[in-house]
Amino acid sequence: MIKISNYKKFFSGILSAAVIFSASEVFAAYEDDGDIITEVPIDIYTWVQSTPRGNYWFNHKHMGYQIKDDGTLDLNTLMVPTVCIYDNVQIDDVIQKRRWKNQSLSGYSRLAGRADYLKFDLVNATVQVVNRVDLDDTWAELDSDKTGEPIPLKDIPISDLRYNFYRKILEWARENNALIIGRSRGKLSEADGNLSLDEVPINKLHIPTAEDFAEDFNDNSEENLDNAFENKSDDEIKDSSKDDNKDNSKDKSKDKSKDKRKR
């Protein structure tokens, strides 16, 4: 059985000179050096999707697990910086809304997009925008909003742009979980170090595949919405299977009764 601690020891050796993640709010989704940024740096960000209003990227280099007060990693909480670069229509829309709300427009003539700091609760399957920052064309902060509340992932409609965006982020995190753990500043607790990879929260969370997403998007049924991103325990899955078998048995009994009556 492969344990997480083995990955932690391996990556800590080869990545000691790399940029180290810190889950506090001092870590940046961008670096402001005063120069106008014309292209999103692909060595830091991964593109996910384009829409008529903007392009969505997540910061794979500074993605990491939250660090507890005792210095250990919280494998239940994944922190992810993201960036959305606006088109002119979205820029005008943001400015108009701020004007209507009598909010400051200082610097907004150079609005370029926003940075969202996402907090994923992998046990309860929720996501929270802990800080939303409006960015100018040098990626300097114009304004911020820290009023975001946790949202159950399964409550996000498939037609919502966030559905696919979050799905791709979590998919990347799962595929690169050992890398994320290995380059984190925090240390693994003894209990977490002895976990098998299958027991890690990111691996227990149901993340819809690309095929599931395509089918669900076309179907868009309530059943698919309930199953999306759902985190079920092994016992719940077994109980669910038992209930399905009971329902099937009842249906078969009803069909047999109907056949006898006809005869």
Give pLDDT, residue 211.
Answer: 74
Q: In Å, how far from its chain's centre is CA 82?
A: 10
DSSP state of 105: -
Name the burial class of residue 111, with classes exposed (0-12), middle (13-18) and buried (19+) by CB atoms within 10 angstroms of its CB.
Answer: buried
From CA 57, how far away is CA 85, in angstroms rounded?
8
From CA 31, how far away is CA 92, in angstroms rounded?
25
Which residue is it, tokens 């047999």?
A: 256
Sequence ranges of the domains in the chain: 4-231
Q: With 90 as the cut, is the pLDDT of residue 147 above it?
A: yes
Confidence of residue 23 (pLDDT cuts 50, 70, 90): very low
Give pLDDT, residue 196.
Answer: 82
Determine the CATH number of domain 4-231: 2.40.128.710
* β partners of residue 65: 78
For range 117-134, the mean pLDDT: 97
Condensed to tens digits (0 to 9), the pLDDT of residues 182-227 reads: 887 888 898 888 888 778 899 999 888 767 666 666 665 555 555 5
pTM: 0.75
Give pLDDT, residue 15.
Answer: 34
Give pLDDT, residue 30.
Answer: 47
From CA 47, how far away is CA 81, in angstroms rounded?
13
Q: Report yes or no: 68 and 115 within 8 Å, Cβ to Cβ.
A: no
Condensed to tens digits (0 to 9), the pLDDT of residues 81-107 reads: 999 999 999 999 999 999 999 999 999
